[in-house]
Amino acid sequence: MNYYDKQIECMPRSEMEVLQGERLVNLVKKVYDTVPLYRDKMNAIKLKPSDIKGLQDMHKLPFTEKQDLRNSYPYGMFAAPKKDIVRLHASSATTGKLTVVGYTKKDIDIWAEAVARCLVMTGANPESTIHIAYGYGLFTGGLGMHYGAEKLGATAVPVSSGNTQKQLQLLQDFQSEFLCCTPSYAVYLAESIVKAGMTMADFNLKAGIFGAEPWSEAMRNTIESKLKIKAYDIYGLSEICGPGVACECAEQSGMHINEDHYFPEIVDSDTLEPLGYNKTGELVFTTLTKEGIPLIRYRTFDLASLSDEKCKCGRTLVKLNKIAGRTDDMLIIRGVNVFPSQIESVLLNCVGVEPHYHIYVDRIDNLDTLEIHVEMSDKLFSDEAKEIDKLHKKLTNDMLSAIGVSAKIKLVSPHSLARSEGKAKTTTDRRKGKL
Amino acid sequence: MTVNQVAVFLENAKGRISDLCQVLADADINVFSMTIADTSDFGIVRVITSDNEKAEKVLKEAGFAAATSQLLGIEIEDKAGRLAQILAVLKQNDIDIEYLYSYITKMGTALILVKVKDIAYTEKVLADNGIKLLNHKIF
């Protein structure tokens, strides 16, 4: 099975643009009529639905921000009557209110189909057994992958997150071929397998579909060598649907976006001017077919680039290049932009340090300080202080040249840093209130 | 002959050395010798115990990074000038000492434990210079 929906996934660009244009025109009419926020936003810039005649008019439309969703909590931006809403999801609220999204029956179907396409991209078929270790609940990860697996006709194993011992047992007993979880949890699982005295020969894993947090190429290498699988990146966010917005194919060189439903743009994060292909900027999505809570030019705060290069897999869907970081979890340290993903890459490249680290940012005597705690391991340890000093210096120097700001590296006891079973929290910013 | 030692990584944090000793105590392991190499950021504890193999195992299980290594044991008279004489031989033969510590045996002799890169070569150099190496098991 090469494609889930060949007609769409391999559609010539010109046809895709016509389809997207028609859907956009309908969408704009619908939100103008049903969502007061969009009517107000459009009226404010004197834009009428009839001004939008196709994709070429996309740039005229106003942006949508996370704050718009928060302000309209819970149902203010729903375009469908409440009786048609069959499910709600909400995104984790690290600050302030949750953002809630509603799905109609058709929204759930389209989402499931998008995930089914992604699963096929990574090699799954109706015979596959898919172990889903994303959390089930308000978070879209678990249920999103679940519905996609069922849509494909594969066997979904709804394990949800946590209870690692049970995860290992079920992975072994059911001989699942596909693993879905966060990349940091995949690393944790690999460690747990070694600890339990098991080897990959006890399992039948072929591929992993990892998302919900940005991860580096170095982390992919670690996961692939430890779990002896192909590790694929999947992208999504609850505001757009959840996982399944985009996913890597066997080429592992960018994630094909299900752009017939979720239209991507890359814009300059300061000027918000659209950037073309192969330029890094902020990723923005327009949900072309959503009924529950359609969004126009929704700002994701994810930094990425798009590519329309012909893919060897045959798909014509544009590719989203690995998320370079988020404009909002970006740390600004002494004026320098630092992404946790850069720090992770340095650690991984530095003589095989396991990616267990925690970043502390503080402000001492009006100066930003960056301290990175890195776990010592049996592999790195030496009875000679000079050898450990050498490692310490290498980490310090490599970190400085990679991120452009000096960081204090502290080597800490093995397994002393908290392990995540969901989204990894790798940064503690203690500057709050000191700025 | 060589002497086996367990080296353990110590994070620069309160109570770590006490935790380490408690792990050994709970496993009924007796410590014969202990030295600490400390830097501003971390420490390395080096111990010789009644059961080094078991010590390494229980320490790792308790979450410490640990490794065993071989040291060269040189038994010398407890007398002024003897250590200087031996170290001069090593210096003349370009043998680098990674670290060194001493231990006084119950018989009143001093035991010098040296970490060198090439134990066999060092043994030969010392023997050629008439320096007595430890030739019986004292631990």
One domain for residues B59 and B79: no
Domain boundary among B39, B69, B99: B69
Shortest Cα distance from A35 to chain B (angstroms)?
56
One domain for residues B42 and B7: yes
Tokens of residue A387, six digits: 């050898």
Shortest Cα distance from B64 to chain A (angstroms)?
6
One domain for residues B22 and B64: yes
One domain for residues B26 and B49: yes
Question: For position A95, what pLDDT does the model report?
Answer: 43
Q: B72 forms bridges with which residues in the sheet? A: B2, B114
Closest chain A residue to the Cα of B5, Cα to Cα:
A383
Residue A93 reports pLDDT greater than 50: no
Mean pLDDT calculated for residue range A21-45: 97
CATH of the domain at B40: 3.30.2130.10
Domain boundary among B41, B69, B97: B69
Q: CA-CA distance, A110 to A290, in Å (whole number)?
A: 9
Contact B67 A378 (CB under 8 A): yes
Check if B59 contacts A (Cβ < 8 Å). no
**Residue of A294, A235, A273, A346 lying closest to A103 (CA atoms):** A294
Q: For chain A, what percent of residues have pLDDT higher than 90? A: 71
Does B83 map to a domain? yes
**Helices (DSSP H) in A122-267: which residue ranges?**
140-152, 164-174, 183-195, 217-227
Check if A411 contacts B (Cβ < 8 Å). yes
Encode pLDDT of A153-189 as tens digits.
999 999 998 899 999 999 999 999 999 998 888 988 9
Does B133 map to a domain? no
* pLDDT interval class at A389 (50, 70, 90): very high
**Helices (DSSP H) in A228-306: which residue ranges?**
none
Does B107 map to a domain? yes
Question: For position A340, what pLDDT does the model report?
Answer: 83
Contact A410 B63 (CB under 8 A): no
B chain contacts of residue A410, beta-carbon cutoff 8 Å: 12, 41
* pLDDT interval class at A423 (50, 70, 90): low
Structural domain boundaries, residue B27: 2-69
**Sign of the CA dihedral running B32, B36, B42, B44:** negative
Q: CA-CA distance, A377 to A379, in Å (whole number)?
A: 5
Mean pLDDT calculated for residue range A181-208: 93
* pLDDT interval class at A434 (50, 70, 90): low
Does B89 map to a domain? yes
Does B138 map to a domain? no
One domain for residues B61 and B75: no
Mean pLDDT calculated for residue range A200-220: 90
Q: Comparing A146 with A139, which gets the higher pLDDT?
A: A146
Contact A381 B7 (CB under 8 A): yes
Question: For position A204, what pLDDT does the model report?
Answer: 97
**Residue of A62, A68, A30, A25 lying closest to A46 (CA atoms):** A62
Check if A413 contacts B (Cβ < 8 Å). yes
Shortest Cα distance from B54 to chain A (angstroms)?
16
Encode pLDDT of B41-92 as tens digits.
899 999 999 999 999 999 999 999 999 999 998 888 878 888 899 999 999 9
Encode pLDDT of B14-50 as tens digits.
899 999 999 999 999 999 999 999 888 899 999 999 9
* pLDDT interval class at A94 (50, 70, 90): very low
Contact B39 A385 (CB under 8 A): yes
CA angle at residue A423 from A417 to A425, to 5 degrees?
A: 40
CA angle at residue B34 from B31 to B38, to 5 degrees?
A: 150
**Residue of A226, A189, A217 lying closest to A344 (CA atoms):** A217
Q: Considering CB atoms only, which of A384, A413, A415 is closest to B98? A: A384
One domain for residues B55 and B104: no
Does B136 map to a domain? no
Q: Considering CB atoms only, which of B9, B37, B69 is closest to A376? A: B9
One domain for residues B7 and B64: yes
Question: For position A282, what pLDDT does the model report?
Answer: 93
Number of domains in chain B: 2
A chain contacts of residue B11, beta-carbon cutoff 8 Å: 376, 411-413, 416
Check if A273 contacts B (Cβ < 8 Å). no
A chain contacts of residue B36, beta-carbon cutoff 8 Å: none
Contact A411 B9 (CB under 8 A): yes
Q: A137 forms bridges with which residues in the sheet? A: none
A chain contacts of residue B60, beta-carbon cutoff 8 Å: 378
Does B134 map to a domain? no
One domain for residues B10 and B62: yes
Q: Which residue ranges form the domains of chain A, and what is each CATH number? A: 1-328 (3.40.50.12780), 331-429 (3.30.300.30)
Check if B57 contacts A (Cβ < 8 Å). no
Question: For position A403, what pLDDT does the model report?
Answer: 86
One domain for residues B29 and B78: no
Mean pLDDT calculated for residue range A105-119: 98
Q: Which of residues 354-383 of A touch B (CB under 8 A)?
A: 376-378, 380-383
One domain for residues B45 and B74: no
One domain for residues B91 and B33: no
CATH of the domain at B114: 3.30.70.260
Domain boundary among B34, B69, B104: B69
Q: CA-CA distance, A185 to A204, in Å (whole number)?
A: 18
Closest chain B residue to the Cα of A389, Cα to Cα:
B39
ipTM of the complex model = 0.85
CA atoms within 13 A on the CB side of A364: 6
Does B34 map to a domain? yes
One domain for residues B55 and B97: no
Question: For position B134, what pLDDT does the model report?
Answer: 66
Angle separating helix axes A183-195 and A217-227, nearest 10 degrees: 30
Closest chain A residue to the Cα of B69, Cα to Cα:
A383
A chain contacts of residue B2, beta-carbon cutoff 8 Å: none
CA distances from A191 to A11, A207, B105 (A): 42, 17, 43
Closest chain B residue to the Cα of A381, Cα to Cα:
B65
What are the backbone angles phi and psi of residue A91, rounded to the nearest 5°?
-90, 150
Encode pLDDT of A231-250 as tens digits.
999 999 999 999 999 999 99
- Which one-letter DSSP state was computed for residue B133? B
Contact A378 B60 (CB under 8 A): yes
Shortest Cα distance from B108 to chain A (angstroms)?
28
